[in-house]
Amino acid sequence: MIKEKGKSIVSKKIIKILGDDFLEHTDAIAVEEPLQISISVLKGDSPITNKNISITMRTPGHDKDLAIGFLFTEGIIQASNQIKKVTHDENSINVHLINSENIDLGKLERHFYTSSSCGVCGKASIEAIKTICRLPPSAADFQIEKNLIKSFPGILKQEQNIFNNTGGIHAAALFSFKGELIAMREDVGRHNALDKIIGHLLTQNQLPLDYHLLFLSGRASFELIQKAAMAGIHFIMAVGAPSSLAVEMAVEHDITLIGFLNETRYNIYTGSKRIKI
């Protein structure tokens, strides 16, 4: 297997079977590697606390955004001005935080190992899973044309370079309420793809994202709705189905939730008021 440092795709020689034929073939495979996320809480320039927060299985690329988005959606930080600097090598990243009463050090013990398929694995309790949304509530009173929604799968498909080469990766995309693509990230972990977007927009001081639309390439699971709610997102679309807990959280946070979205159809589970039908 051929891999270059920091690359998102590797090449591997495989045998492909087509009918009764055996063919030698070089296949492109999405990279999955561990990333250790840690923090240092600083007083002046000196660390007063060093903590390993999580080991997450991710696709390399936008690791800084991933770490910052993870810290935000877990409720540990609330703004980019709490971050002094970020240091990063191939498979570990350390976020240096300015000491303040807004940094919730009590949440640090609940983070352990996070697989590419599970954004809540390793949490110590049920209460630890339900992170509290701290952003102020928003009216988010925009409406989207029903046919505009069906255009988003095609737009995302054109932008998914890693998926188009490997067929083995998730994506999250953020659109304006007018349908303009703002950001797109790919990762073997769907929760990582979303954290990468949220981290990027947090560093640009763009949160809350209450007048934006989120599109997910897979199913709409609880942890993705929770992360989106933390960022103030009120409109979520997914290629797959939502879970019951995802629907409950969407209702609780006044989120429009759409599932089974493709170029011809979709289901509206909550918040139909934001769609011009």
Residues with a known catalytic role: 118
Is the separation of the CB atoms in 96 and 87 below 8 Å? yes
CA dihedral (157, 161, 165, 169) positive or negative? negative
Specify the long-range contacts of residues 253-260, CB closer than 8 Å, at least 24 apart: 253/133, 253/225, 253/229, 254/137, 254/140, 255/225, 255/228, 255/229, 257/220, 257/225, 258/149, 259/219, 259/220
Specify the long-range contacts of residues 40-43, CB closer than 8 Å, at least 24 apart: 40/94, 40/95, 40/96, 40/97, 41/97, 41/99, 41/103, 41/105, 42/84, 42/96, 42/97, 42/98, 42/99, 43/99
